[in-house]
A and B are shown apart, each in its own frame.
Chain A
Amino acid sequence: MRSGTGLGLISNFRFMEKERNRITINIGPVHPSTHGVLKFKVDISGDTMKKIEPEIGFVHRGVEKMAEMKYYSNFMPIADKLDYIAALNWEVLYASVVEKALKVVIPPRAVYLRTMMCELQRIMSHLLFIGHSGEDLGNTTLFMWGFRERELLMDIIEEVSGGRLAPMYISLGGMYYDLPPGLIPKLASTLDIIEKRVKNEYRALSYENGLFKMRTVGVGIIEANLAIKYGLTGPNARASGIKCDLRKNAPYLAYDKLDFDIITADAGDAYARFVVRVNEILESIKIVRQIIKDLPSGEIKVKVPWIFTIPPSYTFVRQETPRGEAAMYMVTDGGQKPYRLKIRAPSLYAVQAMSEIFVGGKVADIVAILGSLDPTPGEVDR
């Protein structure tokens, strides 16, 4: 293209000139706003981002390989730490894969309890997202409030399972324990408190606050086709107007018996992603209330031995975690351990899409957009 003509040389020179004005800065891996250990190499010209390169792999633990070296039951605590903000969702997903391969059907009470735990975990994850968004934009009050409400649910989870961040509540074939007595009224009142605070207190501080809107509206826009191109799912895709929610589109657990809506927004910017998550909290509260109302009684697990074999098979299960569509593909060869376990982590696709979303934004938008995409390096790097 650029031959030896004078014009070509000049344009070449200008091109170089422009390149020279660019500065490359590294953001992360140890940075309070990267939500874990994530690194970005950003080319900036002035204050505008020209090119961005996410670098992942700082918390790579070889989870998929670990699965091949453990008995089916022993992988559960590791599944739990894939995404440490939504541990129960991943526990349920892994249990579902193994149970599908084993052809075990879990009792209805366990199905409802699992659904409830998934939704509680979704509320907790989104509350943490709200808190982190506030922190990223420089509002520490929102951060403290988000964690305050999350703590209430943490207490519930602790009472149920004994753990907080990594509860280990789901066992193969059902749940480890039944709900302790007196938990349901406590849970109901907690949900009331959270609903009230999300609707009133958070509104003043975040989604109706002028300065908050100034920072998020029109920032980090994801067009619907970009979301499809990169395979974005979950709230990130729903904020771009794509009606994709596995709880509705391919119902699993008890979701086909529950009444709820898919929350979408059209703008596709950071503000839309925030609002979608806030509304999903309210929607999840609605779901949990329905579950409390018609929670069936009976057994909570079927007997599955600790060590067992699964005949050669290919099993694929996908479920909706707070970050989007998570999936596990398990190949078994008749042994006591899986032959291969492939994990699809929704955050990875969000991190990939960042290289296009960030371009044209300001440096200060990095934290705003990154926060609004809500990735977890634990599940990105596996």
Chain B
Amino acid sequence: MISTFFYNLLAGYLPPILAEIGSVVGVFIVGTIIVLNIPLLLGWVDRKLSGRIQSRYGPVYTGPFGLLQNVADVIKLLGKRFITNQSIDKLIYDFIPIALSVLAALMIFVIPLGSPGLILVSIPYNLLFIYIFLALSPLLVLLAGWGQNNKYAMLSGFRGAAQITAYELTLLMALISIGILAGSYDISSIVNSQHTIWNAAYLPITLVLFVIASLAITERAPFDVPEASQELQAGWKIEYSGIRYGLFFIAEYVRLLVVSMLIVYLFFGGWNGVYLPDYAWFWIKTTVVTLFMMSLRWVYNRPRIDQLIDIGFKWLLPLSVINLIAVGFIAVY
């Protein structure tokens, strides 16, 4: 656990109370650095992958293999003027990008980073905390639509909230069935329970449900209905520009990574593996899952909003309830 590590490091030189504060500051700095680097790295991977799929090169000019392209983009976004509408709800307008990116960052603070001890803040039931941070977003999307005082942003906010609400329950059901089986909502114990056999092997339906629901909840294409660029242009982000817009990318990519990490933890045995150290196994699996989640975007087109809600409420939700009951039976007998 990283906070304990900082505490022990500082306790030799400082009184306990200062060491405590110092460890909090240390964890905060480390976590922020990790969070800020995720969109830079994942954004590059996303661009390169999409380029390769589409017979393009992707970024090549900035840095080796175009690695610094996203850094350049961030600098550009930072340098941009804030163009805002006169009639916005200023408080909500400024609050939403910060809230979304902080919520995403909090998930990185409570999720293990590849090995049982490698966690920024160790709390029990961290799976539930992550779910809450994921599930708070429809409210924020609605507020974002409201705060911009633009009818198109508002409509798109409704769409976003409807979509996320439709799939959130499915996600929750999938999480509960995993929790029932492992007997805990702590990610470490869920991983340990998969020591002999991965959950993916005997909960394939839950896996499919989880993947679909998590794609929908992260608003990645093919489920990017709230910001369908052919119908709505920028969706509920329409009035945002500059670094406020950039903050949404932090939220998007961190959530994508967290969801991929969750899939590995809950279904593919987390850090369980042979020969290689545990964090190596975990990051190999996470890379594969993340690439898979990203490439779906370039293969499928977007369903219509009514079809999306239909799938969510008419198929996935009943299926996930039945699945939950079945898993309950497995767990009891």
Using CB atoms and an 8 Å cutoff, list the residues of chain A in contact with chain B.
32-33, 47, 134-142, 144-145, 148, 204-205, 209, 211-212, 214-215, 362-367
Contact = CB atoms under 8 A, between A and B. Distances in A.
A140 B304 contact: no
Contacts of A366: 231
A140 B231 contact: no
A139 B299 CA distance: 7
Nearest to A363: B231
B303 to A, nearest CB: 6
B230 A139 contact: no
Nearest to B53: A141
Contact of B300 (A135, A139, A363): A139
24 contacts: A32-B230, A33-B231, A135-B230, A136-B230, A137-B302, A138-B221, A138-B228, A139-B298, A139-B299, A139-B300, A139-B301, A139-B302, A140-B54, A141-B50, A144-B55, A145-B54, A209-B299, A209-B300, A215-B301, A362-B304, A362-B305, A364-B231, A364-B304, A365-B304
B298 A141 contact: yes
Interface string B64-89: 00000000000000000000000000
B215 to A, nearest CB: 12
Interface centre among B222, B224, B231, B301 (most CB of A within 10 A): B301
A212 to B, nearest CB: 6
Nearest to A364: B304
A153 B196 CA distance: 56
B70 to A, nearest CB: 19
Interface string B222-243: 1010001111000000000000
Secondary structure of the A side of the interface?
A: helix
Contacts of B301: 134, 137-139, 142, 209, 211-212, 215
Nearest to A134: B301
A215 B231 CA distance: 14
A299 to B, nearest CB: 41
B222 A138 contact: yes
B54 A141 contact: yes
A90 B48 CA distance: 40
Contacts of A211: 222, 300-303
Nearest to B302: A138
Contacts of A33: 230-231
Given A141-B53, A141-B54, A32 B304 contact: no
Nearest to A135: B230
Secondary structure of the B side of the interface?
A: loop
A111 B88 CA distance: 64
A205 B54 contact: no
Contacts of A145: 54-55
Interface centre among A141, A144, A204, A363 (most CB of B within 10 A): A141
Interface string B267-304: 00000000000000000000000000000001111111
Interface of B: 50, 53-56, 221-222, 224, 228-231, 298-307
B311 to A, nearest CB: 9
B306 A47 contact: yes
Nearest to A138: B302
Given A33-B231, A135-B230, A211-B303, 9 more contacts: A137-B230, A140-B50, A141-B298, A141-B299, A144-B54, A144-B55, A205-B299, A211-B302, A367-B230
A313 to B, nearest CB: 48
A91 B306 CA distance: 44
Given A137-B302, A138-B301, A141-B298, A214 B307 contact: yes
A177 B324 CA distance: 72
A364 B54 contact: no
Interface centre among A138, A145, A148, A212 (most CB of B within 10 A): A138
A376 to B, nearest CB: 18
A364 B305 contact: yes
Contacts of A144: 54-56
Contacts of A140: 50, 54, 298
Contacts of A209: 299-301
A76 to B, nearest CB: 35
Nearest to A367: B230
A138 B301 CA distance: 5
A367 B232 CA distance: 11
Contact of A138 (B50, B55, B229): B229
Contacts of A141: 50, 53-54, 298-299
A364 B300 contact: no
Contacts of A364: 228, 231, 304-305
